[in-house]
Amino acid sequence: MKKEGILLIVSGPSGSGKGTVVSKLVESGEFCLSISATTRKPRDYEEEGVHYFFHTKEEFEAMAEKGELLEWASFCDNYYGTPKAYVEQCLKEGKNVILEIEVQGAFQVKELMPESVLIFLMAPNVTELRKRLTGRGTEDSSVIEKRISRAMEEMELVSKYDYVIINDTVEKSVEDIKTIVSAESMRTSRNSDINKMFKGEI
Ligand code: ADP
Ligand code: 5GP
Which atom of ligand 2 is least distant from the CA of 73? Answer: 22
Q: Which of 9, 5, 3, 162 is nearest to 98 (CA)?
A: 9
pLDDT the model gives residue 155: 96
**Hey, how many other C-beta atoms are within 10 angstroms of the C-beta on 41?**
8
- The dihedrals phi and psi of 10, each to the nearest 5 degrees, come to -110, 120
Confidence of residue 202 (pLDDT cuts 50, 70, 90): confident
What are the pLDDT digits (tens) for 138-152?
Answer: 999 999 999 999 999
Atom 9 of ligand 1, nearest CA residue: 17
Strand partners, 176: none
Which atom of ligand 2 is least distant from the CA of 105? Answer: 22
CA geometry: angle at 168 spanning 8 and 38, to 5°?
45
Q: Which of 160, 119, 93, 89 is nearest to 16 (CA)?
A: 119
Taking CB atoms and a 6 Å cutoff, what residues make up the pocket around ligand 1?
Answer: 12, 14-20, 132, 135-136, 167, 169-170
Nearest ligand, measured from the Cα of 78: 2
**Hey, how many other C-beta atoms are within 10 angstroms of the C-beta on 170?**
13
Atom 23 of ligand 2, nearest CA residue: 101
The terminus-to-terminus CA distance of the chain in angstroms comes to 7
Task: Say whether pLDDT at 108 is over 70.
Answer: yes
Q: What average pLDDT does this structure show over 74-90? A: 96
Atom 22 of ligand 2, nearest CA residue: 105
Q: Is the CB of 108 under 6 A from ligand 2?
A: no
pLDDT the model gives residue 46: 95
163-166, strands of its sheet edge to edge? 32-33, 97-100, 7-11, 117-122, 163-166
What are the pLDDT digits (tens) for 118-136?
Answer: 999 999 999 999 999 999 9
Nearest ligand, measured from the Cα of 136: 1
Q: Which of 119, 113, 109, 90 is nearest to 31 (CA)?
A: 90
* Cα–Cα distance measured from residue 152 to residue 19, given in angstroms and rounded to the nearest whole number: 19
* Cα–Cα distance measured from residue 197 to residue 194, given in angstroms and rounded to the nearest whole number: 5
